[in-house]
Every structure is written in structure tokens, then in C-alpha cells.
Structure 1
């Protein structure tokens, strides 16, 4: 009998690779027990409170925060990359129609998968295996700068509206809102969205980031890596929760319904969208920050969200003692984006407009390693080999 040497050296790991360290990274980390995460060596929450999006983008791309001169230069460089190639712009109406953008929660994101592929082809992206680190980084800047333009154009085309051309004089966040609505946002809205974007740029080896790195390990081009990441993000268990958390607030409706509504669902074993996280065992620092952002706007919607959070955590502590279940980033992301005028079908795409920068940093880092990511699976089917039956 032959010995399966590969099977003899296999390492059993938990489902979903939970807690498994698969590589080293200099990009950042999530410390779930502490309720803390960072980009490079800076607190992500502190960065969101003190810096602009372009500065944090520079940090992830180059490994350091820019000084004032570098900040202005990087902002100008990336703003100049926002317009789309003519051949991509010409294809967007068909992409928007085919991806079902109108009335769909996933339409703009679905369309972006196709549009990113077109962008990579139009810009001549080459496999990361065949180019140096500077060229890889340049491709990621081109793609990341174009993502807001693609997303907003697909959204507007799906509603029979003309796309709004990007402006180089606006920040990344303000320009995103401008291209979406056609109106220049006020400073509070632009800053709130900027803080949300900064807080979601990167978050460890989540499903979409890991997907991007797996594809990068094959040596594929930047567009291919980002398309795969977008596909992973489109799943409701990953990036689709902000609008669903807001749906929960709508379903509850009034303060007197919070307790019975939540108890019924917890006892039925249903998941309460916007609560719990795969890594954090304490309050999600992103949720804490976004709660403060929402409270700066104030109003009944925010007050209701805060009361729902208070009662849900009390009910979960009562019915599920010993489990730390708190709000995650999606719970307050919904109210913040709603207050800034974003439609719900653009919540997850807006998340993608931030996370593309984190994916890009991971793609560049992964490309430094020439080892392809190639795990194995444990076969649990009928014992092999079985004789192939003759055709009767």
C-alpha cells in the first residue's frame, strides 16, 4: 500500500482558519481582546480623528505619514488619477444595465467587478510578478483613485442620470459625495464620511483582504486581485451589513418595541445585524468612534440607535451570559451614511471605496513573496479508488 506523504504532513486547523497565522505583515493588526486596531504603527481611530483620507492612504502605500508638502503632492497626484479612460467610460452604461444597478443592493458593486477589469486592461496593468514594487504601487494608486468614479457613475447610470465628472479640488471623501449627488457636500458631511472611510481602510486578514492576497500570490495583475476582493466583499456576511443594520432599526420602529422585538429574535436563534464580531471580544473601536460622529449630527434617528444599542446589549447579556456581544462597525455606519445623504444601496460600495486602499497595500506586500498560497482540503467523500463502472 502506498503512503500518502502529503496527508501525513497535513496540519489540521479550525474552520474558517479562525486564529491561524498565515503570514507576516507590516500593514497593521487587529487586537480583538483589547478592542484596538492600527495601520502601520498608528491607532486607526486616532488617525480617523486627526488626519485626512489621503494622508492615511499615503501611510499604507508608502509606510509613513506625509509631511505637509508630501500630503499636498500626494493629494494632487491621486486626484489627477480620478478620471476614467474613454473606453471604460463608454462601456459603463452597458455595465450598469447588465449588473442590475437600479434598485439592487449589490448592483454598483457587481458592476465594479467588470469595470475594474476594463480599467486594468485599458491602463495596461501587467502581472505583479513581472513588475517592480514601484510599478505595482502605481497600479494600485490608479485603481484606487478610479474606484469612487466607477461606483458613483454606475449608481447614477442605473437611475437614468448622467455620471458626474470628478473634481481635483475636492478631497477624496468630498469628491465621492459630489460625484454621487451632483452637489458639493457641506463640511460636516464630508468629514463624517472621511472618518468612516479612514476607519474601514484595513482590518486584518478579513475575507476580502485574504482573497486579494491569494490572487496576488499567483502573480496576477492588480485589477485581478481587486476584482476578487470585491467579489468577497459583496457577500452579506462580510460587507453587506450596514444597510441590514439600518433595516433592523426600521423594523423595530419605536422604543417600546425594542425589548419584545429583540427578545423574540434572540430566543429564535436569529442574528441581530450590527452586533457581534469575529475578532473583537469587547466594544468595536470603530463603532465607538462612529457613535460619536453620529451624535455630532444628533436627531431622533441617532437617539433611537443609541437606545437600541443599550437595550440590545442588556438583553444579550441576560439571555447569552458570558458572551461579549457589542455593536460592530456596521451598526453606526448605517446612520452616519444615511445622515450624509447616501442611499442604502451605496453603503457597501462606500465601504469598498475605503477598503480598496487596504487591499492595495496587501497586494503590494504579498507580491514581495514569490510563494503561491496553496493549502489543501481534507477529503471526506466515498473512499477511493472505486472502479469506474462500464457503460451499459
Structure 2
């Protein structure tokens, strides 16, 4: 019989902390049964349709949507923070080479730690709110520069220096490709970035908050969040969803391919979500963006979505499985010229702003996050056997 804690000392919770409220937040919320999520008091999808990435960044980190004058000032302020310290730039070739097939996201974990050291970031516990905010702005502004430089270096190309005259999304595409992006592509990517800035207490956001609760510096919090995002169950699905389209290939193959996967117990990537029990509002918006581009690839994706949802409803009744954000995110990024290995890094280039908001919020509370675990091993203590 295993030893157990007294009932008063512990609270049983569902696996994965599903549905457990662990903190208060002003950053935003996900109302999964309604198919709705918001950043502070505004619909996230409406923000993506009507505002710039910098405006949403201002909203999350500073707490309010800026007017045109303040929005322009904030965009200029953050654009000026995009360049990397010399010691970080000098180390990137070695980081890219060591990362190999692991890609830019793995390299960014190392680069963020180096950035924090180069900038002299101090523990959030030891600095005031203004300094914390400035640290998050510097780190978040540097993330697209780090990601694109690591990607290009990994392919034997020279990194492209950021431009202060381009908005966040357009500059990201410029640094990735070396060419000024088409306005439609830049706006589509910007809308994708806005739609994925924050999404409740997902694994990477919760990781950032746990680290912030220890009082660690901003770079440490962000590096931990990136590590959580790198797992395939969290941030790795957009390219896998495109793999589904590739494997199906044509409309007449949809039903047979999907049925074979579902009946064999395999997951159809890009469908189902831990929170939403209705259509994912992010997927709906990204479908609209994809359809504006049009073409056979988009037509196939729409047909696949329709048939997969119908087959899942038939074979898994009562589960309410719909296309999630990854299904159309991959398609939109592909249409805008992003390589697949940059899909998850691009997600990180958005989410870094949401992580920043949560780090700042968590830093206001001096209580460390320290849950308990139930011990289920052999009963203790037993005598330690001799070595003979």
C-alpha cells in the first residue's frame, strides 16, 4: 500500500490541470464553448481584422489600445529595438551550426539566454515595473531578428538586418527573404500573428509564468516558454497539417485517407482542440484569408476540412472535433512564401508578445508557483540494502 498525504494537504485535479484555475489574469480569456477568445476586453479576431500588430502589442503590454499618435510612437520605439548586440550577432553562426536540423526555434533558446546576458537583464523580482516592461520590449523586438538570422545562417546565407521603416510583420518577412514583401502577404501574416499572440494558459504561457514566479529574468522566462512551444503537441502542428494536404493530394482521395487514419487510431493533424468545442474562431478567420488568395490548394483545404469534420462526427460522435488554428495557419503561411521549417518559429514571433504580458502580470505577485505531486511509488521507508 502506498503512503498518501492527509486529505487536507492536497487537492485532486484532472490530468494536465484541465479546467483548473491557477491564477487571475487581465490579459485575456478563451471561452471554448462559445468559440470566442479576447485580448483584454476586445475580441481577438476583431483586433486581427482591424488593427496592427503593434497596436495589439501596446494593448497587451501597456493595457490599452493606442490612438494613432501613440500607436505610431510605440511602433517607432519597438522598431528601434530590433538590432542585436554585437556579441549576440557574433555568436549566431555557431548557434545555427550547432542547431543543425533542430532549426531556428532550438537556436533561439540559446540566443535568448545570450541576449539576456548581453543586455544585463536582472531578475524581475529585483527590478521595478518600468524596467520589466522595457526588458520585455527589447527581447520581443529582437525575436524576429534572431529567428530569421538563424534560419538564413543555417542555409549558408547572410542574415538580413532589420529595417525600422517597416511594420513588425513586413520586417519579419523582409529579414526572412531579403526582399520587401508584397503588401497582401505582409497583411495576411500580420493578421495571423495577431490571432496567435495569446490564448489562455496554454503550456508555453504557463511555463513563462511559472518561471516568472521564481523571480527569474525576462530572457529566462522567454527561453523556457520557447522550450515548451518546441514540443510537437503544442507548437509543431502547422507544418504537419500541411503534410495532411500533401498526403491526400486530390479530392477523390479524401474520404479513404481520412477513414483509414481515424479507424487506425491515428490523429488527423489540424483537427481538434483542447479548449474549443465549436469552430475555432482563429481557423474561421484564417480560412477567410486563404480564400481571398484562392487557388487549387485552398479549394482542396476547404474540401478536406468539410469532409474530415463530417467523418469525425460519424466515427467519433459527440466529440465536436473541428479544424483548429494550425490547419489554415500552415496554408496561409505557405501562400505567403514562408518555408515550413519557419511555421512554428513564426508562431513564436507572435506569442512572444503574449508571453511578455503574462510575465509582467506574474511578476506583480511575489508568490512562487509550487504545486504538489502524489507519490505512487513503493512504500517508504524501507531499509537501504548493503552494496555487497
Instruction: Determine the C-alpha separation between the residues in 2 that align with 1:217 and 1:361.
Output: 14
Q: Give TM-score, length-normalised by structure 1.
A: 0.97
Given the two structures, how large is their TM-score scaled by the length of structure 2? 0.98
Q: CA deviation at 1:8?
A: 3.7
Aligned partner of 2:196 in structure 1 is 200
Please name the residue that 1:358 is paired with: 354
The residue that corresponds to 2:49 in the other structure is: 49
Cα 1:218–1:160 change in 2 (3 A) is same
Match of residue 112, structure 2, among 110, 113, 116: 116
- Distance in 1 (CA, whole Å) between partners of 2:180 and 2:170 is 7
1:276 aligns to what SS in structure 2?
Answer: coil
Distance 2:66 2:89 in 1: 32
Task: Classify the secondary structure of the residue corresponding to 1:237.
Answer: coil
Q: Could you report, residue by residue, the CA deviation over 1:157-202 in whole angstroms, capped at 9, with x for unpaired residues?
A: 0000000000000000000000000000011000000000000000
Matched, 1:182 2:175: no
What residue in structure 2 maps to residue 318 of structure 1? 314
User: CA contact under 8 A between 2:4 and 2:375: conserved in structure 1?
Assistant: no
Matches within 5 A, 1:25-174: 25-100=25-100, 104=101, 106-174=102-170
1:251 and 2:244 matched? no
Q: Deviations over 1:194-248 (max 9, x none)?
A: 0000000000000000000000000000000000000000000000000000000
Is residue 2:376 matched to residue 1:380? yes
**Cα separation, 1, equivalents of 2:298 and 2:57:** 29
User: Is residue 22 from structure 1 mapped to residue 16 from structure 2 by the alignment?
Assistant: no
- Aligned-partner Cα distance in 2 for 1:268–1:215: 39
Once the two structures are TM-superposed, the CA of residue 391 in structure 1 deviates from its matched residue by: 1.6
CA distance in 2, matches of 1:86, 1:323: 52
Runs of 4+ in 1 over 3 A off after TM superposition: 3-8
Cα distance in 1 for partners of 2:14, 2:286 equals: 32
How far residue 380 of structure 1 moved from its aligned partner, in angstroms, is 0.6
In the other structure, the counterpart of 1:221 is 217
**1:321 Cα deviation from its structure 2 partner:** 1.2
Supply the distance in 2 between the matched residues of 1:331 and 1:203 (Cα, whole angstroms).
17
Gaps of 5+ in 2: none
Structure 2 Cα separation of the partners of residues 276 and 391 of structure 1? 52
- Distance, in Å, in 2 between the alignment partners of 1:46 and 1:11 is 39
Q: 2:4·2:374 contact (CA, 8 Å) conserved in 1?
A: no
Report how far residue 5 of structure 1 moved.
6.7
Q: Which residue is equivalent to 2:301?
A: 305
Correspondence for 1:236 among 197, 219, 232: 232
For residue 99 of structure 1, give the secondary structure of its aligned residue in structure 2: helix
Deviations 1:86-124 (A, max 9, x none): 000000000000011xxx3x4100000000001000111
Rounded Cα–Cα distance in structure 2 between residues aligned with 1:391 and 1:36: 61
RMSD: 1.0
